[in-house]
Structure 1
Amino acid sequence: MHKPFLRTVFGVLALSLASAASAQVKPEDQIKFRQAGYSFMSWNMGKIKANLEGEYNAQQVQAAANAIAGIAGSGMGALYGPGTEKDIGSLKTRVKPEFFQQMPNVGKLATDFNAAAANLAKVAAGGDKAAVQQAFSDTGATCKACHDKYRME
């Protein structure tokens, strides 16, 4: 079988299993937790960007890349359970309803992001600034692909 097909199948399977786990967490907590995870990843992406644009500290970059990969691979799909497609009280979500209706595509995007984040951590461990720049760009592109399709501004 082809790797892209297997990635999509595994991505959809992971999201399906994660949905079962989400039943144990209240919808409003799922939204809070996923927002916290994405905020933490964003902060770490910012640290990597600052290193790439300024004085490069390989240890800082590696720590940030490991944090991103850890969160990306943590099963955040479980935080998109039923009831999280809409605002709950004063808690706002920016996920579009289409996200919940297009799980095969969401699974592919999630799998692509997880692979890019894992690669960023692997490359960062090598300390090569140019290689990190490319892996960082690839990771950012996977974020953007999902945001462009499934995130409200």
Structure 2
Amino acid sequence: MKGFLAGALCALVIGGSTAAFAQGPSAEDQIRYRKAGYSFMAWNLGKIKEQAIDGSVAFDAAQVQAAANAIAGVANSGMGALFGPGTDKNVGSQVTNVKPELFQNFPDVAVLGNNLSTAATRLAEVAATGDQAQIRTAFGELGQTCKACHDKYRKR
């Protein structure tokens, strides 16, 4: 599960704009906020995985839908703005797992971000139906979009 969740966290790396804030948070805070977003997304992915994929927890359609909506919300939140100047390296107490190549390939990152947004939105739409088979398929598709980013742009 840990490996999958790490791949799924890619979703947050590329969701939204890649422009830095004009008068926004410091580089250290940008890293802190995006890591918090990844953690929140991982927690929600874990809830779906336990209920709709592994079956290790009883399926609760309302919980799965809420988790999918949270994932879609984060994926569509504009997290790309948290990849501003100076966030390509560790800052203060914040360690980044982003490879420097991400900051040199924003057009590719934008494509990956759009793929993430689409897959996360699709998962939320499918979760609203409560159909576990469709949820499993959409969850796998989302995982692949995350993996595509992590394979290119995540250090570990």
CA deviations over 1:23-70 (Å, ceiling 9, x no partner)? 411100000000000110011000000002222111110000000000
Could you say which structure has the greater relative contact order, defined with CA pairs below 8 angstroms and 6 or more residues apart?
2
Which runs of no fewer than 5 residues in structure 1 stay unpaired? 1-11
Calculate the TM-score normalised by the size of structure 1. Answer: 0.87
CA deviations over 1:90-141 (Å, ceiling 9, x no partner)? 3100000000000111000000001100000000001100000000000111
Identity of aligned residues (%): 56
Moved over 2 A (4+): 20-23
- Does the 8 Å contact 2:75/2:116 carry over to 1? yes
Aligned positions, number: 139
Give the secondary structure class of the aligned counterpart of 1:21.
coil
- Does the 8 Å contact 1:86/1:92 carry over to 2? yes
Going from structure 1 to structure 2, the CA distance change for 1:108 and 1:151 (only over 3 Å counts) comes to: same
Calculate the TM-score normalised by the size of structure 2. Answer: 0.85
- Residue type of the partner of 1:87? N
Which runs of no fewer than 5 residues in structure 2 stay unpaired? 1-13
Taking only aligned residues, the RMSD between alpha carbons, in angstroms, comes to 1.4
Relative to total residues, which structure has the larger helix share, 1 or 2?
Answer: 1
Aligned-partner Cα distance in 2 for 1:104–1:61: 33
Partner residue in 2 for 1:34:
34
